[in-house]
Amino acid sequence: GPLSERPLLEVRLGELHTWISTYSFSPQGLLGAVQRACSSYCAKYIHVKQGGPAGISMLLAGYCLLSYGWNYQHFSKTSYFRSS
């Protein structure tokens, strides 16, 4: 099919620049990309017949990493994280 309809994993490395240039980087286009990614994630990991803990655990691990990144400066300034 057309290059713009292919998912990222089916795009060859030489076609990547052309594939990226087919997308809109306006706020509306970025919102649509986030919605497509969320629905794809939910279809693959959350809304399945026999699901496991993989989908929820990935969300939890991602939240933990983001939370640590947001609070890194606070953690590095406190004395209880420094070794004596």
Q: Give the residue extent of every domain in the chain.
A: 5-76
The DSSP H or E segment spanning 40 is: helix 27-41
pLDDT tens for 25-57 read 899 988 988 898 889 888 887 777 776 787 788
- DSSP summary character for residue 76: H
Q: What is the mean pLDDT of the chain?
A: 82
- The residue written with tokens 């026999």 in the block is 50
**pLDDT, position 83:** 57
Distance CA 33, CA 83 (A): 44
pLDDT tens for 50-81 read 767 877 888 899 999 999 888 888 777 765 55
